[in-house]
Amino acid sequence: MTEELDALQKEYWRNRATSINDFELKSIADPTQRIGEMEFILKHIPRGLRILEIGCGSGYMTSKLAEIASELTCIDIQEEMINASKLMVPKNLHTKVKWFCEGLHNFKNARKFDVIVCSRVFINFPSRHLQITGLDSVRSNLKDGGMLFFLEGEESAFIHLNISREKLGLTQIKKSPINLYLDKVFFNELGKRGFKLQEKFDNGLYDAITRVLVPALDSLEDLKSKQRQSYEWIQSIDWKDLSKYSRVTGGLYKLINTTNN
């Protein structure tokens, strides 16, 4: 089953890389989500560090990271995505960027990195075993005290978004068949491997609005109905913890223990 999912994922990303002309849309159907992630990352990375980007995709983050890194290494399993990434990065920055068509589990650099950026990569591993062992590969490539920006999809967000959607008469959001979304047990594995969460990130409010409120209002025509629907949406949201609606969770981690490296 794992081999079948792996083949399905590779074909899926190959098709996106070759059939979608918009560079931002090649990697993600909602590129606006990337804006908050990128702002969060850039706020915490000083200039002049060695950075590894895992799963560079079509190069949206790559182009931003290349501006601040002293050296930037990018890996992705799709040659077509790497080619797109090279086009996304300004040519004058190519001298400090290296691209490798390589999977995370097989990648090992001679020198460890100051920073690793990993966004929506682990949900594309077709088994929990590959997800958990992928953390060991991340750790082996990061310096002691180094920063890991780990931003991944968590399964629980779909539950909370669908509860609100149900209250407003919307159909359930179906999870992508190519993704294996993470759970809290997985995130606990980060701590067991020496990664300490420094600052959280989430797109909870954005996802609650775009996945619940906007589609609900789109189905209505008159202002009175839209106002009522907006009120019902407000009542359906747990405002004390908006992070639970975020389809991307995680944040900035630091590697504090390298005993087993």
Structure tokens at 145: 């005290």
Q: What's the rounded Cα separation, in Å, for the pair 148 and 195?
A: 8
89 falls within a domain: yes
In a domain, 223, yes or no: no
pLDDT at 230 > cutoff 80: yes
* Rounded average pLDDT over 170-197: 90
213 in any annotated domain: no
Alpha carbons within 13 angstroms on the beta-carbon side of residue 80 total: 15
- Evaluate whether residue 98 is within a structural domain: yes
By percentage, how much of the chain surpasses pLDDT 70?
96
Whether 222 maps to a domain, the answer reads: no
Give the predicted TM-score (pTM) of the model.
0.91
What residues contact residue 117 under an 8 Å CB cut-off, 6+ apart? 41, 51, 52, 53, 54, 61, 65, 149
Domain of residue 185, residue span = 2-158+175-204+248-255
Does residue 216 fall inside a structural domain? no
Q: Confirm if 200 and 241 have CB atoms less than 8 A apart.
A: no
CATH number for the domain including 8?
A: 3.40.50.150
| pLDDT given at position 3 | 63
The total domain count for the chain is: 1
